[in-house]
Amino acid sequence: MPCHRRPRPSLWRGCAMLLAGCLLGAAAQAGPTLDAVRTRGQLVCGVNTGLLGFSAPDAQGRWQGFDVDICRAVAAAVLGSADKVQYVGLSAPQRFTALQSGEVDLLSRNTTVTLARDASMGLQMTAIAFYDGQGFMVPAKSKIRSALQLKDKTVCVQQGSTTIRSLTEFARVHKLGIRQVVFDRLEDANATYFAGKCDAYTSDASQLAALRVKFAPDPADHVILPEVIAKEPLGPLVRRGDDEWVSIVRWVLYGLIEAEELGVTATSIEALKRSTDPSVLRIVGTGEDTGKLLGLDREWLARAIRATGNYGEIFERNLGPKTPVGLPRGINNLWNKGGLQYALPVR
Ligand SMILES: N[C@@H](CCC(=O)N[C@@H](CS)C(=O)NCC(=O)O)C(=O)O
């Protein structure tokens, strides 16, 4: 019987409970990954073996970078400390097996989300951390200033990524007859290109920017061409079939983005605990308890923000104009500042 036709008291109760559930959500149960992470007391995070700005160990062996900060934020939310992370460096071809087999709990490794990866590999996307695009880099002295000038040129490329296929399709569509020089290992692709043995190098544009800083005596000797030949939305992936874990990773990322939108930073968070804005209070952990909906406590997001800063702070510290990689915020700016970063609302 529909609720509005004078239902019996027990039905009223049922409807009221359903309504309360709709409005508030019910407390979540922990899924198998969260259970395993808690029992182990450590999050095992798959990252790139060494990609400047995204994930690389520093001189003391401490992992640093944008993707590493996502691991740290999740660990802070789930385990109470951003340091409770074990990092597993994974090459492009190794990364999906490591996640599928359970070797890592989370893959936070400059990985593009595509339909095939999301739908057919036993993996699931969470949210987009970085909007990237595939591009080309050429030596500045080469005079090539457009990807359309790559006719019959050699292009260095690594396998195990989305890159080869998009290169092949781009070359075919524009009838460029590009000659691919394919490598299993990134080190070999780098060595060959920076020794001047390929006319161009193709990869995610952020990666090209990082590589020229690391390997070129003068980064200005290499130019990234203006064309973006494929969308490369990068984000953390988890195993399919653990809905609770998907939600946790997704909402940590959204929470960091929303924190930026609301002006909550690693340093302003303490003062904002006395804010009068309910949206801010939810984020800083003194308002409505969103943690219980994820199987976490009230302070889950506050801990993540204290550990890593909000999304904007993470971006600026690891990739922004003041870092060696020197990327502009561009399309990774917030939606209300001309970019694409739009967190679903944390409420
Ligand atoms: N975002 C692209 C490319 C990411 C990627 O794995 N890039 C390669 C270079 S093209 C890389 O990081 N290689 C490092 C390695 O294999 O250790 C993807 O997800 O397929």
Bridge partners, residue 43, by sequence: 85
Q: One-letter amino acid identity for 7?
A: P
The residue from 231, 257, 287 where one domain ends is 231
For the segment 276-295, the average pLDDT, to the nearest whole number, is: 96
Residue at token pair 């190794």: 94
Instruction: Out of 48, 51, 180, give the residue to mutate to test ligand 1, the one with the largest number of ligand atoms within 8 Å of its CB.
Output: 48
**Are residues 48 and 63 located together in one domain of the fold?**
yes
For the CA of 161, the closest atom of ligand 1 is 20
Residue at token pair 């092949």: 168
Structure token pair of residue 101 = 């087999």
Pair 222, 149: CB distance under 8 Å: no
Sign of the C-alpha dihedral computed for residues 189, 190, 191 and 197 taken in this order = positive
Residues framing ligand 1 (Cβ under 6 A) = 48-49, 51, 91-92, 110-112, 158, 161-163, 186, 203-204, 207, 232, 234
**Are residues 48 and 86 located together in one domain of the fold?**
yes
Decide if pLDDT at 21 tops 70: no
Domain that holds residue 313: 32-129+235-325
The reported pLDDT for the residue numbered 293 is: 96
The reported pLDDT for the residue numbered 4 is: 37
Residue at token pair 């995610």: 204
**Are residues 249 and 118 located together in one domain of the fold?**
yes
**Are residues 283 and 307 located together in one domain of the fold?**
yes
Sign of the C-alpha dihedral computed for residues 166, 104, 324 and 329 taken in this order = positive
Q: How far is the CA of 14 from the centre of ligand 1 (A)?
A: 51
Which protein residue's CA is at the shortest distance from atom 19 of ligand 1? Answer: 111
Residue 330 lies in a domain: no
Bridge partners, residue 224, by sequence: 137
The model's pLDDT over 80-128, given as tens digits with 9 standing for 90+, comes to 999 999 999 999 999 999 999 999 999 999 999 999 999 999 999 999 9
Q: How far is the CA of 60 from the centre of ligand 1 (A)?
A: 25
Query: Cα separation of 47 and 68, whole Å?
Result: 7
Instruction: Domain count for the chain, please give it.
Output: 2
For the segment 187-212, the average pLDDT, to the nearest whole number, is: 97
**Are residues 76 and 89 located together in one domain of the fold?**
yes
The reported pLDDT for the residue numbered 304 is: 98
How much of the chain exceeds pLDDT 70, in percent?
A: 92
Residue 118 lies in a domain: yes
Decide if pLDDT at 9 tops 80: no
Decide if pLDDT at 5 tops 70: no
In this structure, what are the phi and psi dihedrals at residue 255, rounded to the nearest 5 degrees? -60, -40
Pair 177, 152: CB distance under 8 Å: yes
Q: What is the CATH number of the domain that holds 308?
A: 3.40.190.10
DSSP class of residue 247? H
For the segment 239-245, the average pLDDT, to the nearest whole number, is: 97
Query: Cα separation of 48 and 205, whole Å?
Result: 16
**Are residues 123 and 257 located together in one domain of the fold?**
yes
Residue 4 lies in a domain: no
Q: How far is the CA of 110 from the centre of ligand 1 (A)?
A: 7
**Are residues 240 and 320 located together in one domain of the fold?**
yes
Q: pTM above the 0.95 mark? A: no
For the CA of 234, the closest atom of ligand 1 is 1
Q: How far is the CA of 237 from the centre of ligand 1 (A)?
A: 14
The residue from 206, 231, 256 where one domain ends is 231
Residue 12 lies in a domain: no
The model's pLDDT over 170-197, given as tens digits with 9 standing for 90+, comes to 999 999 999 999 999 999 999 999 999 9
Structure token pair of residue 27 = 């407390």
The model's pLDDT over 142-157, given as tens digits with 9 standing for 90+, comes to 999 999 999 999 999 9
**Are residues 207 and 246 located together in one domain of the fold?**
no
Residue 204 lies in a domain: yes
